[in-house]
Amino acid sequence: MTTKKQQKAESYEYLQKHINEGDTIYYIVKRVSNSGMYRHITFYKFNVKDTFKEGEDRVQSIWLTRAMCNVLGYTFKEQTKCMGVNGCGMDMGFSVIHNLGHELFGDGYKLTSKAL
């Protein structure tokens, strides 16, 4: 069984492998509590190939949610496969991605966010 420290290190490597400065991270808010204070959000990055063969997917989606939970310390919600995020009064998807930019590159504005 892996420890939280090992999971965080593996997740950090995974995110560094798939995310570069200037990338756009997409998010989907899947569930909002009745009070509006808690959300279930999932995160993706999409790569579009310039050249591809027939029958091959041109767009590759990379699911980042679990790795982001491990690195940033958010709760992973197994039932919805989403990140559990507390807060209101602002764009919580942007907030999480901004925090990820700080963690990976030392500057939250090195990544952009977009809601789907």
Confidence (pLDDT) at 1: 60
24-32 and 112-115: which strand pairing? parallel
Provide the pLDDT confidence category of residue 10 given band limits of 50, 70 and 90. Answer: very high
| DSSP run (H or E) holding 24 | strand 24-32
Q: Using one digit for the tens of pLDDT, what is the confidence trace for 73-114?
A: 999 999 999 999 998 888 999 999 999 999 999 999 999 999
**pLDDT tops 90 at residue 25:** yes
Average pLDDT value over all residues in the chain: 93
Q: What is the pLDDT of residue 48?
A: 86
Element (H, E) at 92: helix 92-105
The pTM of the full predicted model, rounded to 2 decimals, is 0.90
